[in-house]
Structure 1
Amino acid sequence: MISRPRNNLITDVPGIRVGNVQNLDQRTGVTALLFDQPAVASGSFPGGAPALRESALLEPEMIVSGIDAVVLSGGSTYGLDATSGVQAWLREQAAHLPIPEKQVRVPIVVQASLFDLVNGGDKDWGRYSPYAELGYQAAQAAQNGDFALGTTGAGTGATTTPLRGGLGSASAMTPSGHTVAALMVVNAVGTATIGDGPHFWSAPFEQDNEFGGLGFPSRLTENDLRLRMKPNYVAGTTIGVIATDAILTKAEAKRLAILAQDGIARGVFPAHLPQDGDAVFGVSTGHAPAPASVEVWTEILHAATQVTARAIARGVYEASPLPGEPFLPTWSERFGALKQGNANHG
């Protein structure tokens, strides 16, 4: 049986810190995940329109053995500037450490961005985008333990087809004792909710009323299964990180990310469209033993799909209104009176 760790967040995986920063007027933001020690990582990027930085080095055949941070941001390709800010902060923190002769310290940071450029925010930021500074601030804010969900960090300007999107997270403990957790930013072209109603596609995996406790509809209608998309074919994406404390190889981290993509397909309908930039980084912090058998490894992969789907629903469920002209309603604004319990981060 898969159980839920205490915080139900990606920081339940030892060795991960998360920082969020946002500009509410611009309706965008940055989320930085920092690792206490370089983490083994790879990725899966099946979306048709990904915005990525340094993703090639994650392939198992590449020489880089560990990364220092993952950055998630708004801003489409403008947002990829956020990596520069995170690198700058990491370089400052390491400045006091001795460097072996004739070697240069280069923090290894990878990134995925989402498209939030037409969400009603003020994007007239001048010659250079604000994302390098936002990235620096997000790294500076990174901490262990609890952090906010919904309209925060990279999820600040996120939208889905009928509702505001957001940043979500969920975690699980496998029967063999490994922690598996996801942090997802939901800006999908498709929908996280079913038809015109309040139910989440992720409902079969929900734990402890974490996104309203409404369950799954008793049956799906033709209208529920109808294609719903953002108007004018506006680009979108679901991006995030799936992490475990188990010791993994880079090839195994890639498989972890692939199984998390199954979680996207269970939490968003449809997923992986040409306009989507769906991207997941698979991360191992190595604080627990490697899987001792194929059965233990399969438990971790099984949990990866479920926590990803749950994190997607939590991101939409926890979204809050933004100041200024409304763009899309939040789940709570439309359906909050129906929820069976109040999800929390504890």
Structure 2
Amino acid sequence: MKGLTDIEGILVGHASDFEALTGCTVILCEQGAVAGYDIRGGATGTEEMDVMSPFHIAPVVHAIVLAGGSAFGLEAASGVRRFLEHKGVGFPTGAAIVPIVPAAILYDLGIGKANIRPTREMGESATAAATNGPVREGNIGAGTGATIGKALGMKNAMKGGVGSATVNLPGGVMVAALVAVNALGDVVDPSTGRIVAGTRKEPDSKEFASSSALMKQRGPTGGLGRGNTTLAVVATNAKFNKVESTAVARHAHHGLVRAISPVHTSSDGDLTICLSHGKLAASVDAVSVAAAEAVAEAIVRAVRAAKSIGGIPGLAG
């Protein structure tokens, strides 16, 4: 399995700055994909999300951009639009071709160099690098500076990253997910509920402290600010309209609930996007269940592939 690129016509490209510890990930669907989205976190940073609304005139999107750099990282989407415009990919307006490129960011300014963020040029580079090969995971693209388990601060955190997974359904239907994991909470094994990676009890400890328990102890003034976010993109080769794609995106949040604890906090900008890029008939409910499974698996894969960097330990060494 290749991950998100198992869906024909979906390409993935990354660009990373391993000195500044930031980057961006571009999901290309140049022929256009019907999209839906759902936001559950309280600290999102986005651009052009409303083009995926059933009430918006744009029938499809041509790329999705996930980036670090907090709100500054939204600049990367301009590079993707410029790259696609030069290829003649986009929505015809009569006067010009306009690529439809929603973008979402995560906060990675607490690691590496906070004054260096994903740029328009980085967005172009990630787009140019996009392929249908196996999705690269761990410290790459939007996951380059991603961290998890920050209930006791960065000194007790662990490395997050990018992960991708695919679930197969009968009749050749596939549902795949790519997730950039930068959560406040811990990543847990969905089958056991045990912490895979997350908040460490001490900066030099290998023992975990439950982020959920720590959050409850903080009381009513225990907010941690805008410093997190998990971004998930699901793609399927089933044919859906915008309303159906939105339903899948909503259900995909169950994958975050299964694999991250706590999730959807006021300090997280958690969101999900569903791309329908195919012609196969499938039940929305079946694809929705598979989407949640793929997202949960991708989250666990992200932290297991993450390496230590910037003084933050990762499970991959």
TM-score range (shorter-chain normalised) is 0.7 to 0.9
Q: C-alpha offsets along residues 20-65 of structure 1, whole Å, 9 cap, x if unaligned?
A: 1100111000000001311000100111010000011211111111
Q: Please report how far the alpha carbon of residue 298 of structure 1 lies from its aligned counterpart in structure 2 after TM superposition.
A: 1.9
- Tell me the equivalent position of 1:220: none
Task: Report the Cα distance in structure 2 between the residues aligned to 1:46 and 1:102, rounded to whole angstroms.
Answer: 36
Structure 1 stretches of 5 or more lacking a match? 1-5, 193-199, 206-210, 213-222, 334-346
Relative to structure 1, is the Cα distance of residues 29 and 101 closer, same or farther in structure 2, using a 3 angstrom cutoff? closer
Matches within 5 A, 1:26-175: 26-94=20-88, 102-119=94-111, 121-125=112-116, 129-161=117-149, 162-175=157-170
Task: Report the Cα distance in structure 2 between the residues aligned to 1:280 and 1:88, rounded to whole angstroms.
Answer: 25
2:1 aligned with 1:10, yes or no? no
Given candidates 189, 193, 203, the residue that maps to 1:201 is 189
Given candidates 309, 312, 329, the residue that maps to 2:296 is 309
Q: Please report how far the alpha carbon of residue 236 of structure 1 lies from its aligned counterpart in structure 2 after TM superposition.
A: 0.4
Q: Tell me the number of residue pairs that the alignment of Structure 1 and Structure 2 aligns.
A: 292
Give the 3-state SS of the residue equivalent to 2:55 in structure 1: coil
Relative to structure 1, is the Cα distance of residues 59 and 173 closer, same or farther in structure 2, using a 3 angstrom cutoff? same
Letter in 1 for 2:264: H
Is contact 2:252-2:289 (8 Å) kept?
no
Given candidates 184, 192, 197, the residue that maps to 1:189 is 184
Given candidates 231, 234, 239, the residue that maps to 1:242 is 234
Is contact 1:20-1:32 (8 Å) kept?
yes
Q: Please report how far the alpha carbon of residue 202 of structure 1 lies from its aligned counterpart in structure 2 after TM superposition.
A: 2.7
Relative to structure 1, is the Cα distance of residues 290 and 265 closer, same or farther in structure 2, using a 3 angstrom cutoff? same
Task: Report the Cα distance in structure 2 between the residues aligned to 1:147 and 1:264, rounded to whole angstroms.
Answer: 20
Task: Report the Cα distance in structure 1 between the residues aligned to 2:192 and 2:294, rounded to whole angstroms.
Answer: 11
- Tell me the equivalent position of 1:227: 213
Normalization by structure 2: what TM-score? 0.86
Matches within 5 A, 1:285-300: 285-286=277-278, 288-291=279-282, 296-300=283-287
Larger strand proportion of the pair: 2
Is contact 1:79-1:113 (8 Å) kept?
yes
Normalization by structure 1: what TM-score? 0.79
Is contact 1:190-1:228 (8 Å) kept?
no
Is contact 1:167-1:315 (8 Å) kept?
yes
- Provide the aligned C-alpha RMSD in A: 2.5
- Tell me the equivalent position of 1:271: 263
Structure 2 stretches of 5 or more lacking a match? 150-156, 198-208, 216-221
Q: Please report how far the alpha carbon of residue 124 of structure 1 lies from its aligned counterpart in structure 2 after TM superposition.
A: 2.9
